[in-house]
């Protein structure tokens, strides 16, 4: 297919590839998306549960939802799309900027991952500076910090700013890549949707991988309408067989 030949040639000539990934690549591992048809939980709208207001209105309900999600995520496995991205590290300088909170990129072997929206397997205190990975089930919800205040999932909720150190590094990586591959995301969430702008200002080639056209498709240099697993597996197989 000519499209893949073009993509492969650009990858071959590149030095640094930045991936921007979203819910679509995780959905291929069986993790539901917020906006998808299965994006409802006990008749609650996850778009409303994932907010600081919802947390303080009903912290137990929000924690129950996140515990359900965490169990599903820990039971999921990285798919061929994740593994294709980690495999590319053998050939190129690869950085992953992900909107996902599931840790599947790291579990597939990617070593340079910036989690724009945090991680579901980390917790932090609502008051003090405590943060840590979740290593066991909580006896009661919401869990309490040693300082006596509530703990919360270490994720970015709607209306909250991204961690500034992570976002600063993400902008730097986007501004210094030769190729940016946007995989499994329609990039409707700000400020992640500005990352292609930083890449383009550096003269990078923008490649979109998504089964459907998105609002960003017309701004791409190349748009591959396929799932991340199928498209990225094909690209890495071509690179490996050169």
Q: Which residues are annotated as part of the binding site for NAD(+)? A: 99-102, 184-186, 210-212, 228
- Helix or strand or coil: residue 93? strand
Report phi then psi at 133, rounded to 5. Answer: -75, 150
Binding site, annotated residues for Zn(2+):
125, 128, 145, 147
Q: The tokens of 20 are what?
A: 């921007």
Report strand pairing: 205-209 vs 179-183: parallel
Which residues neighbour 161 within 8 Å (Cβ) at sequence distance 6 or greater? Answer: none
From the list 40, 44, 82, 117, the catalytic residue is 117
Strand pairing partners for 181?
Answer: 19, 207
Instruction: For helices 228-240 and 2-13, give the axis angle rounded to 10 degrees.
Output: 60
Q: The tokens of 45 are what?
A: 């709208």
Binding site, annotated residues for substrate:
66, 69
Is 117 one of the catalytic residues? yes
Residues catalogued as catalytic: 117
């Amino acid at each position: 297919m000519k499209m893949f030949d073009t993509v492969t040639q650009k990858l071959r000539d590149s030095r640094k590839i930045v991936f921007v990934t979203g819910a679509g690549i995780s959905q291929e591992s069986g993790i539901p998306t917020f906006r998808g048809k299965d994006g409802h939980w006990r008749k609650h709208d996850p778009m409303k549960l994932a907010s600081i207001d919802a947390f303080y209105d009903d912290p137990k309900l929000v924690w129950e939802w996140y515990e359900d999600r965490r169990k599903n995520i820990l039971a999921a496995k990285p798919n061929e799309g994740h593994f294709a991205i980690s495999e590319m590290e053998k050939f190129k300088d690869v950085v992953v900027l992900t909107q996902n909170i599931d840790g599947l990129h790291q579990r597939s072997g990617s070593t340079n991952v910036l989690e724009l929206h945090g991680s579901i397997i980390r917790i932090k205190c609502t008051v003090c500076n405590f943060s840590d990975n979740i290593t066991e089930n909580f006896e009661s919800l919401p869990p309490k910090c040693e300082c006596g205040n509530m703990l919360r999932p270490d994720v970015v909720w709607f209306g909250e700013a991204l961690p500034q150190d992570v976002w600063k590094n993400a902008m730097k990586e986007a501004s210094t890549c030769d190729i940016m591959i946007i995989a499994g995301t329609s990039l409707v969430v700000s400020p992640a949707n500005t990352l292609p702008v930083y890449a383009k200002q550096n003269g990078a080639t923008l490649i979109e991988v998504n089964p459907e056209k998105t609002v960003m498709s017309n701004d791409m240099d190349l748009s591959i309408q396929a799932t991340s697993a199928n498209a990225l597996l094909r690209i890495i197989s071509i690179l490996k067989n050169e």
